[in-house]
C-alpha cells in the first residue's frame, strides 16, 4: 500500500494551473460551507491516500473522503478489499463547487496523479483494487469523461485502460484512512503544489 504514482511527483503544468488557480478565498469558503450547488465526483487511481490529498488541495473542492466502490460485497473492510475478491476499487469521493472548479478540471488532476495506462496497478501497488476508474454520477459527467479520455489518449503512447462506469454505492473506508497523509503532516492547503510523499 502507498507506493503509487504520486510518490514525490510534482504536479504537471496543466494540473498545477488547476490546483493554484486564482480564486476569492472568502467566496470559496462561503460556498464550501454550503451543500447547495455542489456536485459529486468519484475516481479510482491507485492508493487512495495520495489521490485524496491531491484533490484536497484543489480550490472549489469542499470535501473528500476515501472508500471502496464498484464491488459486489456490502460494507467491505480494508482487509477484505485487499484480497481482491470483493471487486471494489480504492476510490475518492469528491464534493465540489462547479462554479469554482469544473468536472473536466478535476479530470485533469486525475490524469496527472496516476498512470491511466497501467491495468490493475499503480507503481508497486498491484491488484484490481488499484485499478483506474471514473465512476460517473450523471449523463453529463459521462460525456465529459469520454471526451477527456479521448483527449488524454492523444498524449499517451499506450492505450488508456481507465474504466468508465456508473457510480454505485460508495462505502466509506475506516477512519484511519481518511485524510491519511494530511494527518501524517503533509500540507492540504488549497493551492499547495508540494510533491506528495506516499507511504504505508
- Which residues on neighbouring strands pair with residue 119, listed in sequence order? none
pTM score of the predicted model: 0.88
State how many domains the chain has: 1
Please report whether residue 27 resides in a domain: no
pLDDT of residue 2: 53
Q: How far apart are CA 141 and CA 143, in angstroms?
A: 5
**Residue 125: pLDDT band by 50, 70, 90 thresholds?**
confident
Question: Does residue 197 fall inside a structural domain?
Answer: no
pLDDT of residue 20: 74
The model's pLDDT over 37-52, given as tens digits with 9 standing for 90+, comes to 899 999 999 999 999 9
- The answer to whether residue 108 sits within a structural domain is yes
In whole angstroms, give the CA distance from residue 170 to residue 159: 28
Mean pLDDT, range 90-114, rounded to an integer: 95
Is 48 part of any domain?
yes
**Is residue 196 included in any domain, yes or no?**
no
- 7-11 long-range contacts, Cβ below 8 Å, gap at least 24? 7/50, 7/123, 7/196, 7/197, 7/198, 8/195, 8/196, 8/197, 9/113, 9/195, 9/196, 10/193, 10/195, 11/112, 11/193
Catalytic annotation present for 47:
yes
Q: Is residue 189 part of a domain?
A: no
pLDDT tens digit sequence for 169-191 = 999 999 999 999 999 999 999 99
CA distance 12 to 198: 18
In which band, very low, low, confident or very high, does the pLDDT at 67 lie, cut at 50, 70 and 90? very high
Over range 136-148, report the average pLDDT.
97
**Residue 191 falls within a domain, yes or no?**
no
Domain assignment present for residue 144? The answer is yes
Supply the pLDDT for residue 35: 64
Give the CA angle between residues 98, 195, 127 to the nearest 5°.
Answer: 80
Bridge partners of residue 41, in order along the sequence: 94
Give percent of the chain above pLDDT 90.
72
From the list 34, 47, 187, 198, the catalytic residue is 47
Q: Which domain holds residue 71?
A: 13-18+37-183
Asked if residue 3 has pLDDT above 50, the reply is no
Q: Which CATH number do you get for residue 167?
A: 3.30.1060.10
What pLDDT is stored for residue 177 in this prediction?
A: 95
The one-character DSSP state at 43 is E
Amino acid at each position: 500500500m502507498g507506493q503509487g504514482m504520486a510518490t514525490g511527483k510534482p504536479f504537471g503544468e496543466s494540473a498545477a494551473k488547476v490546483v493554484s488557480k486564482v480564486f476569492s478565498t472568502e467566496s470559496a469558503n462561503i460556498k464550501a460551507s454550503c451543500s447547495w450547488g455542489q456536485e459529486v465526483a468519484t475516481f479510482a487511481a491507485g492508493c487512495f491516500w495520495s489521490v485524496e490529498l491531491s484533490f484536497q488541495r484543489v480550490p472549489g473542492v469542499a470535501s473528500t473522503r476515501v472508500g471502496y466502490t464498484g464491488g459486489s460485497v456490502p460494507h467491505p473492510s480494508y482487509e477484505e478489499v485487499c484480497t481482491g475478491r470483493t471487486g471494489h476499487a480504492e476510490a475518492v469521493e469528491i464534493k465540489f463547487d462547479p462554479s469554482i472548479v469544473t468536472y473536466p478540471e478535476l479530470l485533469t488532476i486525475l490524469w496527472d496523479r496516476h498512470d491511466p495506462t497501467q491495468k490493475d496497478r499503480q507503481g508497486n501497488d498491484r491488484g484490481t483494487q488499484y485499478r483506474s476508474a471514473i465512476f460517473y454520477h450523471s449523463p453529463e459527467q459521462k460525456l465529459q469523461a469520454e471526451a477527456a479520455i479521448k483527449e488524454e489518449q492523444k498524449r499517451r503512447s499506450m492505450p488508456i485502460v481507465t474504466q468508465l462506469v456508473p457510480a454505485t454505492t460508495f462505502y466509506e473506508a475506516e477512519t484511519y484512512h481518511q485524510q491519511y497523509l494530511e494527518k501524517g503532516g503533509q500540507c492540504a492547503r488549497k493551492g499547495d503544489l508540494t510533491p506528495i510523499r506516499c507511504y504505508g
